Amino acid sequence: MQKFMCEDCGTLFDEWELVRVPEECHMDGYVLGCPNCKSDAYRKVYTCKRCVEYYFNEDLTQGYCKNCGDVIAMKLRIFLNTEFDSSEMEYIDSILDGVYLSDFRELVNNMKTA
């Protein structure tokens, strides 16, 4: 079920939990707001594929949150550093046709983790 999160107080809730907040300027006489703080600054949130926590869309990359992305990068770095020596990396580079795995390993080795 689609969840929403309040940008002001961080409360996570379902759409049916929204509360009517009196708002004279509004055509209907009310706006829908956060069940906790009544703010109308709430937005849809989505689950991270790995940790299943809720995040705003812009905080997910390919469905993964920043923390889980760091863990994935770390797993890849460990794999590249433990499975292949430099000579084997050069062999792999030669069969990758232009994509340099050693450059790629350099890249993940330099990636900042949280």
Kindly list the residues in this chain that would bind Zn ion in the complex (CB under 5 A).
6, 8-9, 11, 34, 36-37, 39, 48, 50-51, 65, 68
Shortest reach from residue 29's CB to Zn ion, in Å? 21
Compare residues 36 and 102 and give the one whose CB is closer to Zn ion: 36
CA atoms within 13 A of residue 76's CA, in its CB half-sphere: 17
- How many other CB atoms sit within 10 Å of the CB of residue 4? 19
**Token pair for 57:** 């869309």
Shortest reach from residue 49's CB to Zn ion, in Å? 7
Phi first, then psi: give them for residue 5, nearest 5 degrees.
-130, 140
Phi first, then psi: give them for residue 59, nearest 5 degrees.
-95, 5
CA angle at residue 106 from 100 to 108, to 5 degrees?
A: 105
Shortest reach from residue 53's CB to Zn ion, in Å? 6
Compare residues 71 and 92 and give the one whose CB is closer to Zn ion: 71
Shortest reach from residue 47's CB to Zn ion, in Å? 8
Quote the CA–CA distance of 89 and 81 in Å, as a whole number: 10
Compare residues 68 and 89 and give the one whose CB is closer to Zn ion: 68
Compare residues 61 and 94 and give the one whose CB is closer to Zn ion: 61
